[in-house]
Amino acid sequence: MKFSELNLIEPLMRALDHAGYEQPTPIQQKAIPPILEGKDVFGCAQTGTGKTAAFTLPMLQLLGNGSAKKRHIRGLVLAPTRELAMQISANMKTYGHHLPLRHTVVFGGVSQNPQVQQLRKGVDVLIATPGRLLDLMQQGFIRLDRIEFLVLDEADRMLDMGFIHDIKRILAKLPAERQNLLFSATASPEIMKLVKSMMKQIVRVSATPKVQTAELVDQSVYFVAKDKKRSLLKHVLRQKEVSHALVFTRTKRGADRVAKDLVRAGINAEAIHGNKSQGARERALKGFKNRSIQVLIATDIASRGIDVDKLSHVINFEIPEVAETYVHRIGRTGRAGSPGKAFSFCTPDEMPYWKDIHKLVRKDIPEVRKHPFALS
């Protein structure tokens, strides 16, 4: 597909041409048409898929068509971190270069004065982290009563960082009549609850990770009772070939419990997740990279920053509820032509999720029958 098939206006096409993009990414192909039609869209996609352009391009097009005499904030983009907010702002600058729209970005951790100055000049689009936005709203510098377009980017990370109450307070100040977009790498029950609370008719689009990533990985499954999973993990890790493994758990507490259990058994393990300090996370990652730590236990969200070459094993201690997550997880091994292995521990309760995964990867995943904790 070509960008010209997406009905984007000429100023955006020129900016895309200048950026050197040849064709829209899958998430852009799927999300741009319904957004341009004015629909509410839930996009399941992570960084690297081109999701920022997927919401920025149609938003600029829709806002760029109306002409306001006096500028007021009509588009609001919420992001969990300052880095992401700045990245979105940079994207907006690139794509909106030939449009008469003005945008600015506000985030915490820095003086608010320059931000207030920018706001005073009048902006059409505001990119913000939730805390600073609320601060500035309370001081009367920002009014959101004429928002036409709302985007929540990396919504799962916002929830993980404890922003749900801030988000609800912000949503309460917005006009009911508006277009909503929400992007998230996962579609957890919490995310779906938020999506449903914001949107009536939802168009759901997702960028399924390339199935080829999974093809390089040697996958197998162990069927096991829930209370035997930790024993099975120790058994698997003790097999000589498992030198460097990333273990996924569904919850932060689960990650801590598994790490503790492994350490007690004399296995060099460490957990990383959002509740740990930045310093602790960096130490764990460094240790894992230089191989002084053999096993890293992570939740899906915490695992995103992990970029380790030639990871030999990925172990799904729990089966993810969303099949795409499985592909993301196992895609972390077997990179750049080096084959990796992925083991999944599945209880009878988790069978429905396992079946969904099967459907997605379209491949027979062999079962390891011979192990000391096999279901009888």
- Binding region for ligand AMP (CB under 6 A): 21, 24-25, 28, 47-53
What are φ and ψ of residue 271, in 5° steps? -105, 145
Q: How far is the CB of 49 from ligand AMP (least distance, A)?
A: 5
- The CA distance from 186 to 44, in Å, is 6
Q: Whose Cβ is closer to ligand AMP: residue 79's or residue 259's?
A: 79
What are 74's two structure tokens? Answer: 């009509």
Closer to ligand AMP by Cβ: residue 25 or 303: 25
Rounded to the nearest whole angstrom, what is the least distance from the CB of residue 4 to ligand AMP in the complex? 13
Closest Cα to residue 59, out of 99, 24, 90, 27? 99
Measured from the CB of residue 14, what is the shortest distance to ligand AMP in angstroms?
A: 15
The CA-atom distances, in angstroms, between 251 and each of 58, 223, 248, 256, 319 are 35, 20, 9, 9, 12
d(CA 89, CA 97): 12
Decide: helix, strand or coil at residue 233: helix
6, 32 contact by CB (below 8 A): yes
In angstroms, the CA 344 to CA 330 distance is 10
Q: Smallest gap, in angstroms, from Cβ of residue 61 to ligand AMP?
A: 15
Min dist. Cβ of residue 72 to ligand AMP (A): 27
* Smallest distance, ligand AMP to C-beta of residue 306, A: 17
301: three-class secondary structure by DSSP: coil
Written as six digits, the tokens of 375 are 């279901």
Q: What 8-state DSSP symbol labels residue 55?
A: H
Distance of closest approach, residue 46 Cβ to ligand AMP, in angstroms: 7
- 340: tokens are 């990796």
Minimum distance of ligand AMP from residue 280's CB (angstroms): 27
State the nearest-atom distance from the C-beta of 23 to ligand AMP, in Å: 6
> Residue 23 or 197: which CB sits closer to ligand AMP?
23
Nearer to ligand AMP, 47 or 347 (CB): 47
Closer Cβ to ligand AMP, 52 or 188, answer by number: 52
Residue 51 or 74: the one with the smaller Cβ distance to ligand AMP is 51
CB 331 within 8 A of CB 213: yes
Distance CA 101, CA 327 (A): 39
Question: CA 102, CA 124: separation in Å to the nearest integer?
Answer: 5
Nearer to ligand AMP, 254 or 331 (CB): 331
Question: Cβ closer to ligand AMP: 20 or 140?
Answer: 20
- Residue 143 token pair: 């009014």
Choose among 124, 186, 134, 176: nearest CA to 155: 186
- Cβ proximity to ligand AMP, 75 vs 254, nearer residue: 75
Neighbours of 189 (CB within 10 A): 8
